[in-house]
Structure 1
């Protein structure tokens, strides 16, 4: 492949992506090898989305909780990328704004122009950066559900999306990262501080008989867990989690917008 520049196909608007699960099949940047191996899943509800990216061959991390993660574990997990927020339509391009993100913000907004290669494939060209991504639409389902949240105890932001029986859940930090995640981990005064730098969950999963089971997560000890979603009226939900020592806890959330 030698051409990154945008084609002349009609622009795909954000509304056309409602209720989609997509997997990236290709990333091309100038001066780098084409990436077809990083595992990337994008779940798009109405306006809100979750996106998780795991490099091929990433070493397995088997620690059962945050406090059991070693420095090597933390650095391994920092090779992932993940974020969640709102997809904003600017007409000629869309922007993935970020309510929760594993890494510190980059120098440019995450924005691109989407076109169709065929009925099940989208092409994304960077708006502020020069790149090309191809996305396979692996599922389309309705109804959808989406909620932005705030933890009533810590003030941390959250995002919950559902597309058919697929879901995405994101729990942010109480304060955004001020520096590169790997630098924050390596430069932390203590191992506990380094663990806190990584303590951000973006997970994907499936709903089975009212159980919300995590299948992929930036925190590997969350894989297989039941999100344990409980609704308490129109504006409150709670989720099952574990504290840094691995003890079961419930997080209480307040809805901030739909």
Structure 2
């Protein structure tokens, strides 16, 4: 099957689009040398030594045992091994985890409730027509990518379950989006693979062109600041992006503006969102 281009398309003109091909995967390191088993005369010497050790030890053991007096066998019935007649008291039985600590209870509920609260000073972006009451369709998610047909197929094969999202704006030009893409519980690595693929594209100069910074407590989650995109007749375009996952959920956060975006802005959103999932 042809490799699937999962590169995100630009969110607004005149941002650049996805690269035609993903970056080449690094070559695998050579396998570690394997030490061979001994052969020939060395193998025979080792086998002879092992045989002598077993035979000699057995002879000495029989000699010691013959000189010992017989010992009485324990009774066949041992009442002290019986189970207790009474059940454990209620205060000794482990209590179930509360819903706030039971991750399965959290992620099986309304996924929209795991979205970060709208930050102070921001308002809902009512022009975000890709959202329907906080939900995003798989088709709309695929349309955010250059090859939307292949992306749609990739998501279906990865057993995507649902997508929740939020969109906000602040001032005249600053915008932010958050999406939580959840995969079926049986597809254990789908969210991790999805996030890893997107982080791979961020190394391209057409995107952030750097490795980004780690999101504290996220494992491999990272946030990125893009270089400014300037074109004649347009305001400068700035973007920041965070890509991370937890369990069966892939988290993506984007900030757009015509003014520079600080690392603190995107890092704060990423850390707060990670706490909710």
- What TM-score results when the alignment is normalised by the length of structure 1? 0.26
Rg larger in 1 or in 2? 2
More strand by share: 1
